[in-house]
C-alpha cells in the first residue's frame, strides 16, 4: 500500500511560524514521525510540500497516474478558498483525509470554512502532528474496506 502525504504553504516553516499555534517541532520532525509510522504500519509513504497551488494540483494529478492508494492532505491556507485544489481532489477517486494541526473550527472565522473537506473522506483538525498519524490509520481502514 502506498500513501502520499501533501503539505501546503508555510508548513515547511513549522517550528518557526506561530509556535503558540503550531508548536516548536519542525517540518522535518513531522516527516520523521510520518516515516516511523509508515514503517510500523508496513506501508510505503511519500511526502510532498509546496507553497504553490499549481504544484499541489500537479502532484495530485500525478498521484492518480501513479496509482497511489491513499492521500493525506493539509492544504494549509488553501483549505479556505482554493476551488482549484478542491476540483483536483474531487477528480481523483483515491481515499483522502484532510488534516489540520490546529483546530480550524476554534480559530478565526475565515478558517471555519473548508472548501476542500467536502471532497475528502474526512477531516482531522486540532490533534497536532498526531493528526497525520491518525489519518494514516483511517486511510488503511478505508483502503481495505474498498
Ligand atoms: C492549518 C490551518 C490553516 O488555517 C492555516 O492557514 C495553516 C495550517 C493547520 O494545519 O492547522 O497554514 O492548515
pLDDT in tens, the chain (146 residues): 999 999 999 999 999 999 999 999 999 999 999 999 999 999 999 999 999 999 999 999 999 999 999 999 999 999 999 999 999 999 999 999 999 999 999 999 999 999 999 999 999 999 999 999 999 999 999 998 75
Q: How far is the CA of 86 from the centre of ligand 1 (A)?
A: 16
Is there a catalytic annotation at residue 100? yes
Q: Which atom of ligand 1 is nearest to the CA of 103?
A: 11
The ligand 1 site (C-beta within 6 Å) comprises: 10, 74, 76-77, 79, 100-102, 104, 111
What pLDDT shows up at residue 132?
98
How many Cβ atoms sit within 10 Å of the Cβ of residue 25? 16
Q: Which of 64, 81, 100, 112 is catalytic?
A: 100
- Adjacent-strand bridge partners of 99: 124
What pLDDT shows up at residue 146?
55
Q: What is the pTM of this model?
A: 0.97
- Grid coordinates 473537506 are at which residue? 117
Half-sphere exposure of residue 35, counting CA atoms within 13 Å on the CB side? 9
The protein residue whose alpha carbon is closest to atom 12 in ligand 1 is 76
Q: Would you call 46 exposed, middle or buried from its count of C-beta atoms within 10 A (0-12, 13-18, 19+)? A: middle
What pLDDT shows up at residue 145?
78
Q: Which domains does the chain have, with CATH numbers?
A: 2-145 (3.40.50.9100)
- Grid coordinates 514503517 are at which residue? 39
Amino acid at each position: 500500500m502506498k500513501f502520499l502525504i501533501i503539505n501546503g504553504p508555510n508548513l515547511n516553516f513549522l517550528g518557526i511560524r506561530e509556535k503558540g499555534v503550531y508548536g516548536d517541532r519542525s517540518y522535518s520532525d513531522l516527516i520523521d514521525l510520518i516515516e516511523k509510522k509508515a514503517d510500523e504500519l508496513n506501508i510505503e509513504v511519500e511526502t510532498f510540500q509546496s507553497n504553490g497551488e499549481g504544484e499541489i494540483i500537479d502532484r495530485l494529478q500525478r498521484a492518480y497516474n501513479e496509482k497511489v492508494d491513499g492521500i493525506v492532505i493539509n492544504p494549509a491556507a488553501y483549505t479556505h478558498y482554493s476551488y482549484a485544489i478542491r476540483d483536483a481532489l474531487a477528480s481523483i477517486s483515491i481515499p483522502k483525509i484532510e488534516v489540520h494541526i490546529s483546530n480550524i473550527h476554534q480559530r478565526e472565522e475565515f478558517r471555519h470554512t473548508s472548501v476542500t473537506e467536502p471532497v475528502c473522506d474526512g477531516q482531522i483538525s486540532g490533534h497536532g502532528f498526531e493528526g497525520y498519524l491518525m489519518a494514516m490509520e483511517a486511510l488503511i481502514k478505508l483502503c481495505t474496506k474498498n
